[in-house]
Amino acid sequence: MKAAVVIFPGSNRERDVCAALKRASGQDPAIVWHRDTELPPADLIVLPGGFAYGDYLRCGAMAAHSPIMREVKARAQKGVPVLGICNGFQVLTEAGMLPGALLANRTLSFICRDVHLRIETSQTLFTCGYETGQAIRVPVAHGEGNYTADPETLDRLEGEGRVAFRYCSAEGELTDEGNVNGSARSIAGILNETRTVLGMMPHPENVTDPLLGGTDGQGLFNGIVSALQ
């Protein structure tokens, strides 16, 4: 499984996601600069976390219009899976590849801590390493992760099984307290219509090494590799 990781000026989690991908696949991902207009052959495209273009105007807005995104969109339309983590999720919504938007956290503060996520569906190439209903512990690190969309869009996402993750308690229950940033319907990650594009605010790549306090994120990368190999 060969991955391509796109780097924008201000991306900062690309090394983390590369390490997680390498651990799962045994292969180093290709690194692609945002000014490039071509992507190397890849089974998976990753938009990593960070603060692309300093979050100017709106998080992800500038990155969504950078030259490489035209190519990312074209590949996605051909069915190449795309994973956007944190800032990568914001870029995917700004690029119109996923519905909705990410607003400022309801507390207005930057939140950097472990949270719990409930796997809402294991029927995707991204989440097939988990069980539906399973709760995992993964960190978040964002100021704008408060997912919002109009009620019709939210209903459609839920009806079509396109909510991949929700924030929850340690026991896997949906509570207001567990909804770390105030996201609509506790949504932490969503899929596109073809279930080949996933955007999520939490950082599974940062819990793939026991030395860093957990390995609950490894299931995502192992699942992707097993699905794409």
Partner 1 sequence: MKARVHVSLKSGVLDPQGKAIGNALASLGFTGIGEVRQGKLIEIEITDGDRASARAKVEAMCKELLANPVIENYAIELE
The contact set with partner 1 (CB under 8 A) reads: 57-58, 61, 65, 93-94, 99-101, 103-108, 146, 148-150, 182
User: Is 205 among the residues known to form the active site?
Assistant: yes
Instruction: Name residues whose C-beta falls within 8 Å of residue 173's C-beta, 6 or more positions apart in sequence.
Output: none
Smallest gap from Cβ 218 to partner 1, in A, equals 33
For the chain, the first-to-last Cα distance in angstroms comes to 6
Q: What are phi and psi of 179, to 5 degrees?
A: -80, 85
Kindly list the distances between the CA atom of residue 205 and the CA atoms of 16, 49, 78, 86, 88, in Å, as whole numbers in the listed order.
Answer: 6, 10, 26, 11, 13
Least distance between partner 1 and beta carbon 209 (Å): 34
Q: Is 203 part of the annotated catalytic residue set? A: yes
Of 34, 116, 142, 203, which residue is the catalytic one?
203
Considering the complex, state which of residue 61 and residue 128 has its C-beta at the smaller distance from partner 1.
Answer: 61
Amino acid at 32: V
Q: How far is the CB of 225 from partner 1 (least distance, A)?
A: 33
Do residues 198 and 204 lie in contact, with contact meaning Cβ atoms separated by under 8 Å?
no
In the set 86, 94, 120, 142, the catalytic residue is 86
Q: For the CB of residue 32, give the shortest distance to partner 1 in the complex, in Å.
A: 22
Whose Cβ is closer to partner 1: residue 80's or residue 191's?
191
Task: Please tell me which residue in 94, 120, 144, 205 is annotated as part of the active site.
Answer: 205
Q: How far is CA 205 from the centre of its chain?
A: 10
| Residue 46 · residue 29 · CB < 8 Å | yes
Q: Which is nearer to partner 1, 15 or 65 (CB)?
A: 65
Select from 132, 160, 136, 145 the least CA-distant residue to 199. 145
β strands within the chain, DSSP E: 3-7, 30-33, 44-47, 82-85, 101-103, 111-119, 135-142, 146-148, 163-168, 187-191, 197-200
Q: Residue 191 Cβ, how far from partner 1 at the closest point, in Å? A: 17
* Shorter beta-carbon distance to partner 1: residue 44 or 98: 98
Closer CB to partner 1, residue 61 or residue 227? 61
Catalytic residue numbers read 86, 203, 205
